[in-house]
Amino acid sequence: MQKKIQNCRLVHLDLYFLTDGQMTKQPKGAETTPTENWIAEIFSPPYLFIDEEMPKEVGLTVVRRVSIQKLKTESKRGITFSSEIGGKTFYLLKSNKRYEVELGGVLQQEPYAQEESLVLLKLPSVTHAGQWGQHYVKLPIEKSDGRTLSFTAPDMIKENIPPGFYMMFYVDRKGKPSISQIIRFDDEAKAP
């Protein structure tokens, strides 16, 4: 005796998740199940919560975030040091030039502790290369008063630093990184 084959054109395919309820409804006769899974997660890395004293407001924890407020340097004629693009400010760095960085959200501290650092991370490329465009550059902090620090950009050729766009991070003495600031490190560029 031959088993009767079901006619999929007569079946509605509804997908339910136990806690979320109905996620999708497929039309009659659909032969595939939906592959989308509309779930999002927010990851809060532990280093964001390393402060000794965290103020509480109405039962909520307020997390201190360090930020790079502004970069300053002496500008040369014909070169645009900063540009506003899409509501965000981008900066241009050149080799062997001195810069000042204004910080926000830093702890009250004594001027410049060895644990502080200022680094550049190159934005990755989208191609399938061996290095994928990754590059890490530690910038030498020359002086700091806790809110403003200064550094001289390294020589791109001597340090073998590829030109391009980088994320600049300030890491405070507790190891908490700042919100990144996008900069362009390029000796040939006229604008960010």
Task: Tell me, yes or no, whether 95 lies in a domain.
Answer: yes
Q: Say what the pLDDT of residue 74 is.
A: 83
Question: Going residue by residue through the chain (192 aa), what tens digit of pLDDT does each one get?
Answer: 566 665 656 666 666 666 666 656 666 666 565 566 666 777 878 877 776 555 555 555 567 788 899 999 887 777 888 888 888 899 999 999 999 999 987 766 655 556 788 999 998 766 665 556 678 899 998 887 778 899 999 999 999 998 989 999 998 877 888 989 999 999 888 887
Q: Say what the pLDDT of residue 57 is.
A: 57
Q: Tell me: do 130 and 162 sit in the same domain.
A: yes
- The CATH number that applies at residue 139 is 2.60.40.10
Q: Tell me: do 120 and 26 sit in the same domain.
A: no
Distances (CA, A) of 165 to 5, 65, 76, 106: 60, 23, 21, 25
Distance between CA atoms of 140 and 150, rounded to whole angstroms? 9
Task: Tell me, yes or no, whether 52 lies in a domain.
Answer: no
Q: Say what the pLDDT of residue 153 is.
A: 94
Name the phi and psi angles at 163, rounded to 5: -70, 150
Name the phi and psi angles at 105, rounded to 5: 80, 15
**What range defines the domain where residue 125 resides?**
62-185
Of 66, 68, 30, 98, the C-alpha closest to 175 is 66
Q: How many domains does the chain have?
A: 2
